[in-house]
Amino acid sequence: MSVTDQRAPGVRISDLSVVYRTQAGELPAVRGVDLELMPGTITGVVGESGSGKSTLALSMLNAVQPPGRISSGSVEIDGLGDVVALRGDDLRKTRGRHVGYVFQAAQNSLNPLKTIGKQLLDLGRSHDVDDLPGLVKEARSLLDRMGLDGARVLDSYQHELSGGMRQRVGIMLALVLNAHVVVLDEPTTALDMITQATILRIIREVHEERGLTTLVITHDLGVVAEIADRLAVMYGGRLVEQGPTREVLGAPRHPYTRGLLQAIPRLVGDIDEARALPGRPPTLSTVPPDGCVFRERCAVRMDVCETGEPPVLTIGPRVVACHAAGDGESQKETVTTGPTRGEEQA
């Protein structure tokens, strides 16, 4: 396999912006996102619909489809370079070999007319794998590892498999070409609680055994809380807060993160502590072009939020973009106003 070494690669997303062309002009779905995926870690990106999280995930493969396009920024993967600059065959080869992708509703992304094994062979051929029997063997051992009967699954059609089984097939297809960067988009949506717990456990174990760098995209804070080392929160195309999962959940700094956590009913304690967030998330056309994207729903909104871009505060391992986050805090270490490079490129 052509991966440079067996160490998990790091990924640096810098100043990434993605726009969609609409009748109202080009509207930003992702704006100036900086995110580093440390080698060998699981990063969870949380956001509601329209937050730009899936668009961000597609950018990892340079797979944003028209009318969308990556308008600025880069996605650097160790041993591969900038994915955004790749074109044509190079790009096609990258997908699958270097970056594995488990699509949202993997249940529905399989071909209903072909057995899983046939689809596996198609994947192998399109990536010029010489040793097809070896590929099948690898697929079987991956499926066995995830608690399935590999041989039987490869002989099955998708309708013969349950949701949890299909999700595991999706993970197998993402890993079988030995990719070491893996993106999982909503890996457990539409699965039952117990199946979800199983899939999350499997993702964590396979991640560790194979030395992966993993990105999980989800709307469910619980999913991220369960498996991610680092947590990044997106809102209206912006990354508003990121940091080690436990720290962010234990002491959220952005008002949106706080609101989101408060809106989750819990199993113990005073149930009336759960509070709904007022208002609703912005869509592509209602995201305010200036100032803070969250201000409409924010409890600690100030005048400066209307016009001023929230400063990006780096506090130890944590990053938060909010005018109010630094208030009265002595821990403030560095304040940068944005990404350091590529800021002005069109």
- Contacts (CB under 8 A) with other proteins, residues 205-244: 219-223, 225-226
Residue number, 85 or 251, with CB nearest to other proteins: 251
- Closest of 190, 189, 229, 191 to residue 208, by C-alpha: 229
- If one asks whether residue 267 binds other proteins (CB under 8 A), the answer comes out as yes
Q: Is 164 within 8 Å of 188 (Cβ atoms)?
A: no
Among the listed residues 24, 276, 289, 303, the single contact to other proteins using CB under 8 A: 276
In whole angstroms, the minimum distance from the beta carbon of 194 to other proteins comes to 5
Of 35-43, 193-201, 206-214, 300-308, the window that binds other proteins (rule: CB under 8 A) is 193-201
Q: At what angle do helices 163-175 and 193-210 cross, to 10 degrees?
A: 20
- If one asks whether residue 266 binds other proteins (CB under 8 A), the answer comes out as yes
Task: Please report, for residues 66, 79, 119, 166, 294, the alpha-carbon distance to residue 113 in angstroms, rounded to integers and kept in the order given.
Answer: 28, 37, 10, 15, 45
Of 33-41, 72-80, 101-109, 266-274, the window that binds other proteins (rule: CB under 8 A) is 266-274
- Closest of 66, 76, 116 to residue 98, by C-alpha: 76
- If one asks whether residue 66 binds other proteins (CB under 8 A), the answer comes out as no
- 17 vs 32: CA distance, rounded Å: 5
Among the listed residues 21, 69, 137, 280, the single contact to other proteins using CB under 8 A: 280
Furthest C-alpha separation in the chain: 65
Of 84-92, 149-157, 173-181, 267-275, the window that binds other proteins (rule: CB under 8 A) is 267-275
Residue number, 88 or 250, with CB nearest to other proteins: 250
Of 4-12, 60-68, 168-176, 263-271, the window that binds other proteins (rule: CB under 8 A) is 263-271
CA pseudo-torsion sign 192, 193, 194, 199: positive
In whole angstroms, the minimum distance from the beta carbon of 193 to other proteins comes to 4
What is the torsion angle, in degrees rounded to the nearest 10, for the CA atoms of residue 134, residue 138, residue 141 and residue 143?
Answer: -130
Residue number, 73 or 282, with CB nearest to other proteins: 282
- Contacts (CB under 8 A) with other proteins, residues 121-180: 162, 164
Among the listed residues 36, 247, 296, 309, the single contact to other proteins using CB under 8 A: 247
- 294 vs 301: CA distance, rounded Å: 9
Residue number, 18 or 221, with CB nearest to other proteins: 221
> For the purposes of burial, counting CB atoms within 10 Å of the CB of 37, is it exposed (0-12), middle (13-18) or buried (19 or more)?
buried
- If one asks whether residue 246 binds other proteins (CB under 8 A), the answer comes out as yes
- If one asks whether residue 112 binds other proteins (CB under 8 A), the answer comes out as no
Q: Is 210 within 8 Å of 179 (Cβ atoms)?
A: no
List contacts with other proteins (CB under 8 A): 48-49, 162, 164, 192-197, 200, 219-223, 225-226, 245-250, 259-261, 263-269, 271, 274-277, 280-281, 297
